[in-house]
Structure 1
Amino acid sequence: MHSLLLISALLVHAACGKSNFDLISPLTGSLNGGNVFAGASLPYGMAKAVADVSGANTAGWAYDFSNVTGFSAQHDSGTGGNPSQGQFPISIQPYCADDDLGKCRFGSKYERAVDYRVGTPRAKPGYFGLGLENGVDVGVTVTEHSALWNFEFTANDTDGHKLSPLVLLDLTDLQDSRQNASVAVNPDTGRITANGTFLPSFGVGSYMSYVCVDFKGAEIRDTGVWVNERAGTEPKELFVNRGYSLYYIQAGGFVRFHKPDSNVLQARVGVSFISAAKACQNAETDIADWDFDRVRTAAEDAWKAKLSTVSIEAGGVNESIQRTFFTGIYRTMMSPQNYTGDNPLFQASELYFDSYYCTWDSFRTTFPFLTIFDPTTLSQLITSYLNIYKLTGWLPDCRMQLCKGYSQGGSNADNVIADAYVKNLTNIDWTLAYAAIKNDAENEPFDWGVEGRGGLQSWKQHGYIPVLDYDTLGFGPPYHSISRTLEYAYNDFCISTVAAGLGETANAAKYLQRSGNWHNLWNAIQTSSIKGNDTGFTGFLQPRYANGTWRYQDPIECSPLDSFCSYSSNPKETFEDSIWEYVFFVPQDQARLIATVGGKANFIRRLDFLHESGLLDISNEPSELVVYQYHYAGRPGLSAKRIHSYIPSAFNDSINGLPGNDDSGASGSFLAMAMSGVFPVAGQNVYLISPPFFESVSYRNAVTGKVATIRNVNFDPAYRDIYVQSARLNGEVYTRNWIGHELFLEGGTLELTLGREESGWGTREEDVPPSTSSSGMGGYEGVFEVRAE
């Protein structure tokens, strides 16, 4: 029956709308700080090729009408902070003035930048292209470790210029972090190989990167290297370091060609983190035939295969909303990137993914979404986490380009592992996983700024992280005591879940007890004002010294009404959000939180005030779950109403269709879950139910083959009827406002009948999601069961 539903949905797509693939818009979010990678990539691919620009180039490309500085084959997507990767960009000039090599432009990539023609940027999964004002049309497609560029010359021998293309390879990256580098040019074949040492954009240490560039389509005229503004045909090799007194030396290699026979010059770029020889091997293996159309078709087929597990019946919803949904799903597969087989730290066969930017962002919706959408890859991602643990002794929070990234709060890989555990993911070493997360709870690393947790002595002794904590075991950012306390409490809840499932009863009880530590920072008499006006709410979290006395932090600090509190320049006690918002981050015990703030009515009032006062930044990950926390107070209809206030007003399919950076697919997965009608409480076997944004959404589990469908009855594509009146699960009356992962493992249909007003559905005490204080361990059906394996 369920397979018939899927086939039916696919037929609806074929008859009435575009395919999933055709509804993806990679340029969405490429303006106004979305920082998405808009270029050519495979799902989780290491090679990510795009035009780099001089403006907001965190992911290489931005649709901000700045000019093009080059074309590079490795990037990250959706990150904040410094630009990431973009090593060894190539650039192309159709000719040198007066046909004189000395009159071509060398020097800085910004001095060589070229405007692109308005309206020419175009992108589809696996492809990116644009037209340059200098008369070159550019297109690129990719394999796992290689990119193939087509440079087509629309400007022929005109205006007295002789078409003789010059291609430069630049020994730099997007953030100009190069420490040293080498380049060599083969004068017979034109092959350019290079290597360099670069810095990660949000971490410590450095990494080596390698590239191999071959050309086809024109005879070689001359080759050489260049330094700063000058080039020469001898020598053919060059080594360069950072530069004297930090003066950044501009340098690289070049090949100049005679006029291409067909006006098309191809560049094949192989990349590697092992060696230049491996980069060449990658390119030769992946793109031996230089067939652009074949490589592009293969990339498209890879995306279509991934997208085949989800289908919708649009029910009259416009294509813009459909594009928003499928493009969100697409972005969840930009990162992490699969470096397996191209990682100098591991054996070739060991699973290794990189570019975890960062688990603090992605544990909430990205990994839970992959549990539904792509469980096979998620199992590999978690195995990669465990391989990193075996290598370094710690689970990472952030990691990029083989380097340790900054930890933004707790040890949130614990939440990812617990979420996968309670949802019965397979092919994971759960004994090793438990050892890794228990290590986070019990041991403090010397540098907890990049792994693990700090302040564990205080955590165990006081039951919270004190402000100005006296930590003699390690070092890290000596702030964020409130947000760290809340995150440690939830991390310990997640560890307790796995411990109980594995029969570790005593540890399960210990960590469950620690999960209540958040309450030790509750100051019942604290008030909050905005511009001198009392908000009318009493009781907030506050920083606390080790001796138990309080220190004051204004509850609105770090909110949009105050200022953004970043990682590196934030001496406050919350990270990237205010106390007003962090009050709600107690996913393990919403019942106790509701009682603490004075009951359901006050809880709802607080949520409403948070959403409507300007205190909430919906682009930030802690804001995601608070959209749905009305469920815990028995008002699921208010969650449905609230999500429609953000989609499509803040999230849509335009180039500025994200309210902030995508955080490596965190916003994309937020959209995918919200629009599917089942929102995850990460680390628990709990999805909060709200009506999908379509008549139905179906997911086929790639492991079990079962199909889960969430279907609306009385669906209104104008979104006036958004309140669930009643529900049925596989034909049986269903009253809970949440559901477990069993729907996606075993398949079935959740049918929601909609109306224009709130109803009594999901409002009873027995219908709300579980909490530790109201239900105890027994309230988490299926979560604490001891497993057979």
Structure 2
Amino acid sequence: MINDVDPFIGTAATALPPADGLAAAWWFPKPLVGNTHPGATSPLGMVSACAYSGAYPTGYGRYDKGTEGLPEEIFPTQQASGFTHFQQSGTGAIRKYYNYVRVTPMVQPLDDLGEAWPLHEESAEAGYYAATLDTGIRCELTVGEKVAVHRYTFPESGSARLVVDLSCGGLAIDHGRTVPLRAQVESIGHGRAQGTVVMEGVPLSVYLEVSSPDWRQMLWYDRRLVEGGTRLDFDSIRQTTLRPFGLLFMGRALAGQTVEVRLGFSLRGCEQARENLRRECGEPTPSFDTVRAGTGARWADHLDRVRVEGGTPARRTVFATAMYHALIKPCFGDDESPFWPTSGPFAFDVCTMWDIYKTQIPLMTAIVPDRAADLLESLIRVCEEEGNFPIGYRMARGADRFFRQASALAHTALADAHATGLGRLDWSWALVHMEADLRRLYGENFRDDGVVHPITHTLDLAYGHHCTARVARALGDHGLADDLEARSHQWVNAFDPASGLLLDSEYYEGGKWNYSFRLLHDMRARIALAGGDDGFVAMLDAFFGFGAPAVTQPGLHPPPAEMAAGYALNRFEGLNNEPDMEAPWAYHYAGRPDRTADVVHAALTWQFGTGAGGMPGNDDSGGLSSWYVWASLGLFPVAGQSLFLVNAPAFARAVLRVDGGEFVIETTGHRETPIGADGIAETPPAQYVQSATLNGRPCETTHISASDVHRGGVLHLELGPEPSAWGRSARPPSLSDAPAARARG
């Protein structure tokens, strides 16, 4: 699968064919760009490396920060002023930009540092990125988990340079710059140097080696060489006092001469950065090609954990790239926390939990369970050290919790982990923090009043109480479980019984229609509140635009009237918006899995494609790509309930490598995408489950347990071109079998 990955997918403004059928009625208000980058990455590793233009939000690309419609270009061509480390992936509305330690190969004087040159001959694969600068220098990057290695091939030059800028950080947009608070850098021998910069409260250390035996090595400050100096110290730096600083290696270059730069990173000092370089690269330090091969092998192993058969080359490329994007974040730095002294996992770039808890964490739990357990252990440690489970967590002092967006999301992943026996977490320790976190911030009002605004937090907190109750009951604390479960019924206080929708309130990215079809722990009562199956399905049909005319998507600088008219549609925003990700599967609970099949089929067909513009919107740190993976497999994880909903898959056969062996999804009656006489794939047909078996036994329900998947087995689906009776009567589980009374806390 690794050969099918295209890291350039999602790096440019959305450029998909005009949608047809159901998908043509969907309207996307959020930025129409994937916000990914093609740089070198390692699976869930700490370090990435990419060409740096200063564009939003990764530092790569040509776009300014935008909130609606197509993004605005700020550079006419792809360009770079050097190559930086630590990039976001697919985020939107982000406030943490990294791009630390810029390395710039030059044949110009130091005064030209910061100039950006056009990029040519870009190429990328999992673990590798390359481009040629307009100056004629060929640039190649690869990374390990905590290291990066650059290789530069110079044209002939009497005065070639490699400039390392330790003051660089952030983006070239308004309010995008990151300024170091303190810093020190020193030369420690020929071709060797180290330094530490404190960025947003985090001490980032780097140890570097440069293979330039005949080149001079000097420090520089404010673009002037520091003759004879071996160390620079800055005790206090402010926006007004910052002048760039770093290291320079300079000498004559023959045509085709290569120079390697090897960098080890750590959040716990230069000595640990040096050890990280030695641990990953060995001694003597191996070549660029050796590190690249090792990272490529790790990617091949991770990507091979989900294998698919069939499909067009284009669909296989989109699927493989979705798997790749789903395994870039979060970043893991084992034994690297700068905030607590103990060893163990440290996870950052949880950007944000509401982007990843529904799709990406369940994918990690299935195919990289050790890392999923490490993530949860790290989040518990954050809660213990900082007082809250974070909604967003960066490599920065103080958790960027995104409290406006959501509450109590870590509880869903913890409940699933306990139910499936994930890892070796101290569950008594975890439960203490889960229960305490429910009382903080919005939780206080929820506990006192039974409802809280923004109203979506009422749903979050009710669900968090349910998830925590599951863990408490499993641990034998029935008194706590009863109290929490009683409070979990207060989700009904968020709904207007007259409309069957959520109450009017402030909504983050979307409106009450987008949030009204979440998969709650009591969907039977939720559907009854909407008037029963028929009423609920009618609401969903209106939301998804069944029978509605096609709409026009926002372009560049959409006028306010156009946006207001779009919002007034109360329409599915496709997969451009996180609240809508699970809505297609709400049909399952009303006995209409065929409708789920229609919506998911339309999304897979029209919202994803090959090429740089092949994503419908922000990848959200891999949350959207994880959705694509699950939807293609015919499964959807219901976070916090330890179950999967079943749908018609996009591939004839798929195999997940799980802890218990292999979980196989196989089909009969699957129809491949037809190829027209011109050799172009035609619109693929929708397909519907006719019957199912799990490990050879009939499966009448439209769901299976997460344990069924994790222990391995065979799910066989009989598919057909028309809806069937399968799933009409047997519904996924709900907490009650009757409408819930309105509870006031």
The residue aligned with 1:210 is: 205
Letter in 2 for 1:221: R
Structure 1 residue 84 corresponds to structure 2 residue 17? no
The residue aligned with 2:721 is: 756
The residue aligned with 2:503 is: 542
The residue aligned with 1:180 is: 181
Partners of 2:179 and 2:650 lie apart in 1 by 46
* 1:591 CA drift (Å): 1.2
Partners of 1:456 and 1:524 lie apart in 2 by 24
The residue aligned with 1:624 is: 581
The residue aligned with 1:556 is: none
Letter in 1 for 2:428: T
What does 1:307-322 correspond to in 2, within 5 Å? Answer: 307-314=303-310, 317-322=311-316
Letter in 2 for 1:226: Y
Q: What per-residue deviation string (whole Å, max 9, x for no partner) do you get for residues 465-513 of structure 1? A: 1x5xxxxxxxxxxxxx211111111111111211222222222222222
Partners of 1:584 and 1:213 lie apart in 2 by 51
* 1:721 CA drift (Å): 4.8
TM-score by length of 1: 0.80
What does 1:367-382 correspond to in 2, within 5 Å? Answer: 367-382=361-376
* 1:266 CA drift (Å): 1.1
Q: Which of residues 525, 542, 557 in structure 2 aligns to 1:609? A: 542
* Larger CA deviation: 624-633 vs 209-218: 209-218
* 1:250 CA drift (Å): 3.0
Structure 1 residue 295 corresponds to structure 2 residue 298? no
**Alpha-carbon spacing, 1:392–1:188, altered in 2? closer, same or farther (3 Å):** closer
Letter in 2 for 1:714: G
Letter in 2 for 1:26: P
Letter in 1 for 2:449: H
Contact kept? 2:643, 2:704, Cα under 8 Å: yes
Q: What per-residue deviation string (whole Å, max 9, x for no partner) do you get for residues 330-351 of structure 1? A: 2222122121122333446322
Letter in 1 for 2:211: K
Partners of 1:188 and 1:491 lie apart in 2 by 55
Partners of 1:58 and 1:397 lie apart in 2 by 20
* 1:62 CA drift (Å): 6.3
Contact kept? 1:60, 1:86, Cα under 8 Å: no
Contact kept? 1:50, 1:61, Cα under 8 Å: no
Partners of 1:540 and 1:631 lie apart in 2 by 18
The residue aligned with 2:196 is: 195
Letter in 1 for 2:503: Q
Identity value in percent = 25
Contact kept? 1:73, 1:146, Cα under 8 Å: no
What does 1:388-407 correspond to in 2, within 5 Å? Answer: 388-403=382-397, 404-407=399-402
Q: Which of residues 486, 507, 513 in structure 2 aligns to 1:574? A: 507
* 1:397 CA drift (Å): 2.2
What does 1:680-759 correspond to in 2, within 5 Å? Answer: 680-701=637-658, 703-705=659-661, 707-718=662-673, 719-759=684-724
Q: What per-residue deviation string (whole Å, max 9, x for no partner) do you get for residues 316-337 of structure 1? A: x111111212221222221221
Q: What per-residue deviation string (whole Å, max 9, x for no partner) do you get for residues 224-253 of structure 1? A: 3130x5445354433457767736533333
Structure 1 residue 520 corresponds to structure 2 residue 507? no
What does 1:433-452 correspond to in 2, within 5 Å? Answer: 433-441=430-438, 443-444=439-440
The residue aligned with 2:448 is: 461
Letter in 1 for 2:5: I
Q: Which of residues 113, 117, 125 in structure 2 aligns to 1:114? A: 117
Partners of 2:217 and 2:427 lie apart in 1 by 58
* 1:541 CA drift (Å): 2.2
**Alpha-carbon spacing, 1:351–1:186, altered in 2? closer, same or farther (3 Å):** closer
* 1:54 CA drift (Å): 3.0
The residue aligned with 1:323 is: 317
Secondary structure at 2:598 match in 1:
helix
Partners of 2:737 and 2:380 lie apart in 1 by 34
Q: Which of residues 637, 657, 663 in structure 1 aligns to 2:620? A: 663
Contact kept? 2:526, 2:739, Cα under 8 Å: no
Secondary structure at 2:408 match in 1:
coil
Secondary structure at 1:515 match in 2:
helix
**Alpha-carbon spacing, 1:195–1:761, altered in 2? closer, same or farther (3 Å):** same
Partners of 1:150 and 1:122 lie apart in 2 by 14
Letter in 2 for 1:22: N
Partners of 1:651 and 1:662 lie apart in 2 by 11
The residue aligned with 1:646 is: 603
What does 1:85-164 correspond to in 2, within 5 Å? Answer: 85-96=98-109, 104-106=111-113, 109=114, 112-117=115-120, 120-153=121-154, 155-157=155-157, 162-164=158-160
**Alpha-carbon spacing, 1:150–1:713, altered in 2? closer, same or farther (3 Å):** same
Partners of 1:670 and 1:754 lie apart in 2 by 21
Secondary structure at 1:265 match in 2:
strand
**Alpha-carbon spacing, 1:226–1:249, altered in 2? closer, same or farther (3 Å):** closer
The residue aligned with 1:591 is: 524
The residue aligned with 2:550 is: none
* Larger CA deviation: 189-198 vs 242-251: 242-251
The residue aligned with 1:672 is: 629
**Cα RMSD (Å):** 2.4
Partners of 2:323 and 2:479 lie apart in 1 by 40
The residue aligned with 2:10 is: 29
Letter in 1 for 2:371: T
Secondary structure at 1:246 match in 2:
coil
Secondary structure at 1:194 match in 2:
strand
* 1:672 CA drift (Å): 1.0
* 1:776 CA drift (Å): 11
Partners of 2:447 and 2:660 lie apart in 1 by 42
* 1:747 CA drift (Å): 2.3
* 1:131 CA drift (Å): 1.0
Contact kept? 1:122, 1:128, Cα under 8 Å: yes
Letter in 1 for 2:88: D
Secondary structure at 1:739 match in 2:
strand
Partners of 1:507 and 1:587 lie apart in 2 by 21
Letter in 2 for 1:581: N
Contact kept? 1:323, 1:653, Cα under 8 Å: yes
* 1:685 CA drift (Å): 2.4
The residue aligned with 1:785 is: none
* 1:746 CA drift (Å): 3.2
* Larger CA deviation: 41-50 vs 272-281: 272-281
The residue aligned with 2:19 is: none
Partners of 1:374 and 1:187 lie apart in 2 by 40
* 1:179 CA drift (Å): 3.4
Letter in 2 for 1:521: A
**Alpha-carbon spacing, 1:670–1:635, altered in 2? closer, same or farther (3 Å):** same
Contact kept? 2:608, 2:614, Cα under 8 Å: yes
Partners of 1:138 and 1:307 lie apart in 2 by 26
Structure 1 residue 768 corresponds to structure 2 residue 731? yes
Structure 1 residue 264 corresponds to structure 2 residue 281? no
Contact kept? 1:486, 1:586, Cα under 8 Å: no
Partners of 2:136 and 2:378 lie apart in 1 by 45
**Alpha-carbon spacing, 1:432–1:273, altered in 2? closer, same or farther (3 Å):** same
Contact kept? 2:356, 2:622, Cα under 8 Å: yes
**Alpha-carbon spacing, 1:84–1:400, altered in 2? closer, same or farther (3 Å):** same
Which consecutive residues of structure 1, in runs of 5 or more, have no partner in the other structure?
Answer: 1-19, 200-205, 445-453, 468-480, 526-537, 544-552, 554-572, 778-789
Q: What per-residue deviation string (whole Å, max 9, x for no partner) do you get for residues 369-416 of structure 1? A: 122212222122222222333333432222111531123311111111
Q: What per-residue deviation string (whole Å, max 9, x for no partner) do you get for residues 539-584 of structure 1? A: 43225xxxxxxxxx5xxxxxxxxxxxxxxxxxxx222221112122
* 1:220 CA drift (Å): 1.6
Secondary structure at 1:305 match in 2:
helix
Contact kept? 2:528, 2:739, Cα under 8 Å: no
**Alpha-carbon spacing, 1:365–1:775, altered in 2? closer, same or farther (3 Å):** farther
Q: What per-residue deviation string (whole Å, max 9, x for no partner) do you get for residues 246-267 of structure 1? A: 3653333322122258511111
Letter in 2 for 1:272: S
Contact kept? 1:40, 1:125, Cα under 8 Å: yes
Partners of 2:198 and 2:467 lie apart in 1 by 38
Contact kept? 2:688, 2:722, Cα under 8 Å: yes
**Alpha-carbon spacing, 1:740–1:262, altered in 2? closer, same or farther (3 Å):** same
- Give aligned pairs, total: 664
The residue aligned with 2:26 is: none
* 1:669 CA drift (Å): 1.0
Partners of 1:659 and 1:188 lie apart in 2 by 50
